[in-house]
Chains A and B, each alone.
Chain A
């Protein structure tokens, strides 16, 4: 790969591996994030998202694999990476027994910011926390902590943000504001890698990667990931969907059913068989059926279950 090409990537890592004991937590992960891109990192709990992010910013040393972060080698230049990356940890990691202002001031000093006081006051103002600046950080609510953490990891104006489940446990309004802020930042050329569990957030990313059991199962634009699986989906509306779903799963052409409240998504790769089965079973119960587009969630559940089958098969 040419130097120019790698310059376009904020993150470019190849074949990363990490074991904890005999547990293969990150398995051959390769990932490219372009500059100015919001890259969503999805996967169930314990799939290796946090570990992958730590590998990328030099907090953990990979067992094997190589790569760059903002053009700096992840093995040898983690000092430079640290200066230009803003990392928001999954667990709130600012000091509870320091006040909000003291925390921000500490961070500003760590990065040796020349206009430290101004930057801290401006951040406090932007956060709307000026009046509470002398409050102990430990007394803040979850939503406020999350906003503070984001502001703090942005304080030194990093070129790349690594956000580890930044919106977990945050209310919908705050989440919406948060994502608007992310898009504003991306528009300014800042690259963002964000891990999340929320599908609506996944839809707001430019690109996505899906990881399970330490392996990257899919990576790319949302539309491409969906198209790649070649799934067709029908939605059935009605009640007592559990029983219906059991019945459907045994029917030919049906690969998976997913319940969304009072609706059931039925997906399969064989379009004709699927349509036939869905109509037969729905008609027998007098339920309303309509064709729908396959969503990201349907696809991820599908990918997940298939990879589980594969893992099961190897044993």
Chain B
């Protein structure tokens, strides 16, 4: 049993890492510095013009006019109807889970009241977590509605043409009604900071041993690869949690981000995400020959994460190929988790679709990392 895993050997690796970390001022500075710098840099969001946003339609009233309206929404390029739902509850669930960006609610009687000239209202609910993702579409909606009235109505409705706004579109911004882009960016920073620091630091942890020649000593001792690999990452879990807490505190105190969901869920998600990043770091460090290479590989991993995870640009605004890459990055899922918990108050059922991909990623990386850990100097 001692042959496969010795707790005391593993524990001494953990202790050694903590001792070395305590004396490494630069790393210590990074732990606190990186989240603060990123907060300062990315406190303001970048605006883009995402199109083809998935939209659910609850059509309680079906008429030629509503069909024309829905078709016009699609031709505008901003909306793509991806599902037809029956109830408002279904609509809310689709928004909470992030399946759709909008739910268009056409009430019963809509056409009849329109014909009577009662100026009925359509309800458009938007997931406004990321204002950049919905802003342009919402800006366009009234214009689109107007155009439908001006040009597309024929037959029995023809007399409505030309009249100014025979109906109204009520926009309901969910989750971030004030359209505060910081509400989206600041929680997103948590994943970005964790990715950058943790991958880099674990990447360096192992290559440092190799570069300083201490790896040879470690390999000459009867210590198991899993003891070294897992023992080395424990201190970084603590670091990850500290960083998460710094961001959360800043989000709460400085940026007044709402905390609708449970803090426990936030930390569970963070812990899982930390694990994912540590395995990436260990993976990189067993491939990298020296600390410089580890740094370069970290940057190589970091760039797509920051650009394609939905942190910098709305995920749905990205081209298909970019979304495909984003879909294999754990940060993509973590961004959805953290925003979902803080801004939407997601429960475990809502979170699950974004939790398991990170867990799967972690397991795969860990297996590769332990396999790659070289037991010899070859």
Interface positions, chain A 131-186, Cβ under 8 Å from B, are 136
B367 to A: closest C-beta gap in Å: 22
Does chain B have a CB within 8 A of A284?
no
Q: Are A111 and B376 in contact (CB under 8 A)?
A: no
Range of interface residues on chain A? 20 to 34
A96 within 8 A of B: yes
Residues of B contacting A79 with CB < 8 Å? 3, 222
Are A110 and B214 in contact, with the CB atoms below 8 A?
Answer: no
Annotate A48-72 by CB proximity to B: 1 below 8 A, 0 otherwise: 0000001001111100000000000
Any A CB within 8 A of the CB of B378: yes
- A85 CB to nearest B CB, Å: 8
Contact B20 A61 (CB under 8 A): no
A84-106 interface mask toward B, CB cutoff 8 Å, 1 = contact, 0 = none? 01010101111111100010011
Q: Which of B9, B23, B213 contacts A110 (CB 8 A)?
A: B9
Inter-chain contact B221/A107, CB cutoff 8 Å? yes
Specify which chain B residues have a CB less than 8 angstroms from the CB of A83 in the assembled complex: 222
B3, B15, B24, B216: most-surrounded residue (chain A CB, <10 A): B216
Within 8 A of B (CB), among A197-216: none
Chain B proximity of A280: nearest CB distance (Å): 54
Q: Are A111 and B213 in contact (CB under 8 A)?
A: no
Determine if B216 and A93 form an interchain contact, defined as CB atoms under 8 angstroms apart.
Answer: yes
Query: What range describes how many residues of B lie at the interface?
Result: 20 to 34
A300 to B11, CA, bound (A): 49
Q: Say yes or no: is A112 at the interface (Cβ < 8 Å to chain B).
A: yes
How near does chain A come to B31, taking the closest CB pair, in angstroms? 17
Q: Could you tell me if B220 and A106 are in contact, using CB atoms closer than 8 angstroms? A: no
Q: Once the chains are docked, how many angstroms separate the CA of A95 from the CA of B24?
A: 13
Within 8 Å by CB of B16, from A59, A60, A92, A106, lies A106
1/0 per residue B1-21: CB within 8 Å of A? 011001011011001100110
Residues of A within 8 A of B171 (CB): none
CA distance A31 to B193 in the complex (A): 54
User: Min CB distance, A89 to chain B, in Å?
Assistant: 5
Other-chain contact of B212, A82, A85, A96, A106 (Cβ < 8 Å): A96
Q: Would you call B164 an interface residue if the criterion is a C-beta within 8 Å of the partner chain's C-beta atoms?
A: no
A89 to B209, CA, bound (A): 14
Is there a chain B Cβ closer than 8 Å to A306's Cβ?
A: no
A82 CA / B219 CA spacing, docked (Å): 9
Most buried by A among B16, B216, B222: B222
Mark B224-251 against chain A: 1 for CB-CB distance below 8 A, else 0. 0000000000000000000000000000
Residue B223 interfacial (CB < 8 Å): yes
With A61-B378, A94-B214, A97-B23 given, is the CB distance from A112 to B8 under 8 Å?
yes
Centre residue among A60, A93, A107, A136 by max chain B CB count within 10 A? A93
A117 within 8 A of B: no
Q: How far is the CA of A291 from the CA of B378 in the complex (A)?
A: 50
Judge whether A89 and B9 touch: CB under 8 Å: no
In the complex, the answer to whether B214 meets A93 with C-beta atoms within 8 Å is yes
Which of the residues B8, B220, B223 comes within 8 Å of A87, measured between beta carbons?
B220
B41 sits at the interface (CB 8 A): no
Contact between A112 and B376, CB atoms less than 8 A apart: no
Decide: B376 and A59 in contact? CB cutoff 8 A.
Answer: yes
Is there a chain B Cβ closer than 8 Å to A109's Cβ? yes
**Whole-angstrom distance between the alpha carbons of A105 and B11 in the complex?**
12
> By the criterion CB–CB under 8 Å, are A82 and B23 in contact?
no
User: In the assembled complex, how far is the CB of residue A119 from the closest CB belonging to chain B, in whole angstroms?
Assistant: 14
List chain B residues, Cβ under 8 A from A82: 220-222
If A58-B376, A89-B216 touch, whether A111 touches B221 (CB-CB below 8 Å) is yes
Task: With A59-B219, A93-B214, A96-B212 given, name 17 new contacts (CB 8 A).
Answer: A59-B216, A59-B220, A59-B377, A60-B376, A60-B377, A60-B378, A61-B376, A83-B222, A89-B217, A89-B220, A91-B213, A93-B212, A93-B216, A94-B217, A97-B19, A111-B222, A112-B9
Which 6 A-B pairs rank lowest in CB-CB distance, beginning with the nearest?
A: A109-B12, A93-B217, A110-B221, A87-B220, A82-B222, A91-B213
Residues of B within 8 A of A (CB): 2-3, 6, 8-9, 11-12, 15-16, 19-20, 23-24, 212-214, 216-217, 219-223, 376-378
**28 sampled A-B residue pairs with Cβ under 8 A:** A54-B377, A57-B220, A58-B376, A59-B377, A61-B378, A79-B222, A82-B221, A87-B217, A87-B220, A89-B216, A91-B213, A92-B213, A93-B213, A93-B216, A94-B214, A97-B24, A98-B19, A98-B20, A105-B12, A106-B16, A107-B221, A109-B8, A109-B11, A109-B12, A111-B221, A112-B6, A112-B9, A136-B23
